[in-house]
Structure 1
Amino acid sequence: MTTKDLPGTSLFVPHRPGEGWWGGLNDDGLHMPFGRAPLSRDLARDLSGNQGAPLLLSDQGRYLWSDAPFAFEVDGTGLRLRGEARLEEGFGTLRGAFLAASARHFPPSGTLPDERLFTRPQYNTWIEHGYGGTQEGVLAYARGILDHGFPTGVLMIDDNWHRGYGHWDFDRKRFPDPAALVRQLQEMGFPVMLWVCPFVSPDSEEFRWLEKRGLLLLDASGQVALRRWWNGYSAVLDLTHPGAVNWMNEQLGRLQADYGVDGFKLDAGDPIFYRADDRMVGVGGPAAQCEAWARLGLRFPLNEYRACWKLGGQALAQRLKDKAHIGTSSASPA
């Protein structure tokens, strides 16, 4: 086995005869193995709405790993990488390369997410209601599942159950008795998860409280960053700040204590909502924010993520991104 350190801003790894490469972005599965056609990706800028990792695996038993995001290009001659990476060789096969990389860089934690996420169906109100969910509508959705002979499973109450982004409590006009709603769903056999995100609506009490304590992401000028996302413009928690993580944990813990909620769908967190020159307490740029958002879910066995950076081997339920669909009153995020 040989190890080569590859610092600097550019490196070239020639293909071996018949060699293919795998990894980088989960959304690129259709293009793997890389090498059959030209392809370029920048893992620091865009995860294509799904999971990513600074790992490229060869089906001839070698791999490239970096602790930070990198950009790469691949064509018929080889793989070009911009950034810092480490090339490890001598593991025989694709499986051997993956097992070696996993053991060294992201060993399994030994803990699984709640097995109900895999052994039973997952139901989500987004397809049924979009932004228009109500307490009675959610109950009708659950009854319809049973009436049509489908088995019970985890039921996720998606976006707009709350009073505002960052104001993580039920809107009582549409959900007048959330504790009763959760209890009824659980009695019907549905564990209940709520949708949340790291955004905070401006001009809100939560925004003012968080800004005063320095818990919001700042832009390059030192002002609170307001970012465009699929629901408009919002401030963003600086999840590299322990205080912001503690605040979000308090909100989620209160929802469990007050209403008996079982877990959370933690949406967004994509690196595209952050910028390299943002001012944050921690280091690592957009990828660090994405990773910190994912780490927050580790304390909740019933968790679900669409976007994630690294954290292979951890007890996180990570799904494929949304597919095109019809039937909702509003467009779905990617």
Structure 2
Amino acid sequence: MVFSILENEYWYGGYVFGSYVQPYDASSEADIDLRRNDSTNQAMPFFVSTKGRYLWCDEGFLLHFGGGNIAIDRDVELREGYVNLKGAYLAASREHFPFGKEGPSDEFFKNPVYNSWIELTFWQNEEAILKYADSILDNGMSAGVLMIDDGWSDYYGKWEFSKEKFPHAEEMLKTLHSKGFSVMLWICPYITPDTLQYRQAKEMDILIKVPDGKPLITEWWNGYSAALDLSNPAAVEWLDKQLEALREIGVDGFKFDGADVLYYPDDIMTAGSVTPNEMARLWCAYAEKYAFNELRMAFKAGGMALMQRLCDKPHNWGEEGIRALVPDTLMQGITGHPFGSPDMIGGGEYMNFRENSGNLDQELFNRHSEIACLLPVMQFSAAPWRVLGKESYDRILKSVRLRERYAPKILELAHHAARTGEPVARYMAYEFPEGGYERVNDQFMLGEDILVAPICEKGRTSRNVAVPKGRWRFQGTVIESEGDVMELTPEEGVPIVLEKCE
């Protein structure tokens, strides 16, 4: 299937990861392979254009931009006549990935989310978790969702608190709740071999297999594991029993990690005869029944009520680090994943973070916080009061206070997204289709009337902002724009924020 790109037409979609290269136009040369989502983030078999057109396929496809054309290796749906980017996106959402359910828990949008990973890595334990929670409050931060990351159980597939690490788990949960925290636990769809749970799962025939009929033992970032066959209702029931037992003692929900397509070979054998892409989607569908959920990897999960985090980012200023945060979050929104978290502040790629821990870039940490504070979900992991000096930490608190000010608006937009699919954080071209903002991906609209432009470059204290025509309030002053690019300087510790005047 081949068709022409229109004059001044720009296309967005496919992968969230690496989306700073988008949009694509008639001058672009690019190959996008959606047959397997081997990225570590969300992907949708969907592209949408500023000329009111969209592409959709129920399966992944191979797409080529080149010579002013789009060539696809199979027939897909090409729909047109929806005027602009917003019209085409909303039409596609209604038809192919409808919203209309309750979104993830409101708690994600009210206060910062805290994850114990960078502080504790695999050494999660009761004493340290309680200390982390107390430190949050003692250092002037609000209680919020607290995620206990990998290491709280004895091994994968045995989803019970380790009695050695968490001797009083139920009491710990009650204590955390009394302090105002909601508590989530990290889990994955993998099972450690040579364990009782592995033998049980093998006997129940609920594991993914390889062609010779043996259980798949896949290599992933934490070693070698068997993998649960989520297309088998018995596997779902087996997992349900464990997670509901945790819910009964006070766990609010789960961080659903893993299920990366790259860890499932193409020739997997499953009860439902599903592909690796479909197996990843089943993990998302399973997670959706919990209001407290977090996902990082997905295929065709647009429209689901999931809090979708960006993949772990390195602690640097590059296009794979801090400069990826706004473009990737915008791409989440335009592909049906509006409830996004721009990774853990400072960078969630823990090996990279640890390598830099002795020479941490405090400016980068501050800028990441300023970027995250007005995006859908703001998430900390490394304790900023520990890794930053007082001046830098005071700037963190300023960004958190700005978040508190706009939290009602963010929550309102999250509810609107759950009903309609409209992104919380939106491309400038989505809200201002005649403004020529198709390539602007380092600033965003928070809803229809709040423009946010964070600083993403080291050493800068001001930046150029594309300001749409009209009257805008900036730091107490009304400015008028004819669609100008203006150099603006924010107050220290916060991004540039302009509010549209009536």
Instruction: Tell whether the structures are fold-level matches, with TM greater than 0.5.
Output: yes
Aligned to 1:72: 63
Conserved? CA contact 2:37–2:299, under 8 Å: no
Q: Counterpart of 2:303 in structure 1: which amino acid?
A: G
- Deviation track 1:236-278 (CA, whole Å, cap 9, x = no partner) reads 0011111111111111111111x21011000011111112211
How many residues in Structure 1 have an aligned counterpart in Structure 2? 322
Q: Distance in 2 between matches of 1:245 and 1:192?
A: 22
- 1:135 equivalent to 2:134? Answer no
Query: What is the Cα deviation at residue 149 of structure 1?
Result: 0.3
324-333 vs 13-22, which deviates more? 324-333
Q: Distance in 2 between matches of 1:189 and 1:46?
A: 38
Query: What is the Cα deviation at residue 329 of structure 1?
Result: 11
Q: Counterpart of 2:109 in structure 1: which amino acid?
A: F
Alignment of 1:55-94 (within 5 A): 55-94=46-85
Query: What is the Cα deviation at residue 327 of structure 1?
Result: 9.9
Q: Counterpart of 1:322 in structure 2: which amino acid?
A: D
Among all aligned residue pairs of Structure 1 and Structure 2, give the percentage whose two residues are the same amino acid: 38
110-119 vs 81-90, which deviates more? 81-90
Aligned to 1:331: 351
Aligned to 2:306: 316
- Deviation track 1:20-59 (CA, whole Å, cap 9, x = no partner) reads 1111111132121123542222222234211111111111
- Deviation track 1:159-185 (CA, whole Å, cap 9, x = no partner) reads 010011001111111111111111111
Q: Counterpart of 2:3 in structure 1: which amino acid?
A: V
Q: 1:205 aligns with which of 185, 196, 199?
A: 196
Q: Distance in 2 between matches of 1:130 and 1:328?
A: 11
- 1:23 equivalent to 2:13? Answer yes
- Deviation track 1:124-162 (CA, whole Å, cap 9, x = no partner) reads 000111111111011111111111101111000000100
Q: Distance in 1 between matches of 2:114 and 2:282?
A: 26
90-99 vs 74-83, which deviates more? 74-83
Aligned to 1:12: 2
Q: 1:95 aligns with which of 73, 81, 86?
A: 86
Q: Distance in 2 between matches of 1:224 and 1:329?
A: 30
- 1:265 equivalent to 2:255? Answer yes
Q: What are structure 1's unaligned runs of at least 5 residues?
A: 1-10
Q: Secondary structure at the match of 1:331?
A: helix
Q: Distance in 1 between matches of 2:67 and 2:147?
A: 44
Query: What is the Cα deviation at residue 292 of structure 1?
Result: 0.4
Q: Counterpart of 2:308 in structure 1: which amino acid?
A: Q
Conserved? CA contact 1:131–1:329, under 8 Å: no
Q: What are structure 2's unaligned runs of at least 5 residues?
A: 316-345, 354-502
120-129 vs 12-21, which deviates more? 12-21
Alignment of 1:226-305 (within 5 A): 226-257=217-248, 259-305=249-295
Q: Counterpart of 2:160 in structure 1: which amino acid?
A: D
Q: Secondary structure at the match of 1:208?
A: helix
- Rate the CA distance shift 1:191–1:332 in 2: closer, same or farther, 3 A: farther
Q: Distance in 1 between matches of 2:105 and 2:84?
A: 32
CA-atom RMSD, angstroms?
1.9
- Rate the CA distance shift 1:233–1:25 in 2: closer, same or farther, 3 A: same
- 1:106 equivalent to 2:126? Answer no
TM-score w.r.t. the length of structure 1 is 0.92
Q: Distance in 1 between matches of 2:348 and 2:60?
A: 36
Query: What is the Cα deviation at residue 314 of structure 1?
Result: 2.1
Query: What is the Cα deviation at residue 76 of structure 1?
Result: 4.7
Q: Distance in 2 between matches of 1:119 and 1:250?
A: 30
Query: What is the Cα deviation at residue 12 of structure 1?
Result: 1.6
Aligned to 1:6: none
Alignment of 1:31-70 (within 5 A): 31-35=21-25, 36-70=27-61
Q: Secondary structure at the match of 1:138?
A: helix
Q: Distance in 1 between matches of 2:276 and 2:90?
A: 28
Q: Distance in 2 between matches of 1:300 and 1:139?
A: 24
The structure with more radius of gyration: 2
Conserved? CA contact 2:51–2:85, under 8 Å: yes
Q: Counterpart of 1:188 in structure 2: which amino acid?
A: K
TM-score w.r.t. the length of structure 2 is 0.62
Query: What is the Cα deviation at residue 112 of structure 1?
Result: 1.2
Conserved? CA contact 1:125–1:156, under 8 Å: yes
Q: Distance in 2 between matches of 1:329 and 1:120?
A: 23
Conserved? CA contact 1:55–1:64, under 8 Å: yes
Query: Segments of 4+ in structure 1 off by > 4 A?
Result: 325-330
